[in-house]
Amino acid sequence: MIMPEKLSLSDFVSRRLHPMKVTISLLGHELDQNSDGDVTTINASLLGSVINTLELFVEDYERLLEKTTAAAPKQPAPAVERKFVGDDVKQ
């Protein structure tokens, strides 16, 4: 999905909520209709579609975060003295 330059986090979430709600509803339906005790059967292509929908949401969200964090100035990490296991052992 191509992300517009000035898409805010709230715009992103509202745009992607509908497919997520449909996916949740679909999984709930499959769980109700195709369960036998603790075992649920789901068509492989249907499960693939669910995974693709979730991946799209995550990928788009990560791209949005990259753009958001790239705009914010980064501060250098404070210097930390590191000790390794065995540094205090005298030979």
pLDDT tens for residues 6-37? 667 777 777 788 888 999 999 999 999 999 98
Separation of alpha carbons 4 and 12, rounded Å: 10
Eight-class DSSP state of 64: H
Domain chopping of the chain, boundaries: 9-71
**β partners of residue 40:** 35
CA distance 56 to 47: 14
Q: What is the pTM of this model?
A: 0.61
**Tens-place pLDDT, residues 36-57:** 989 999 999 999 999 998 998 8
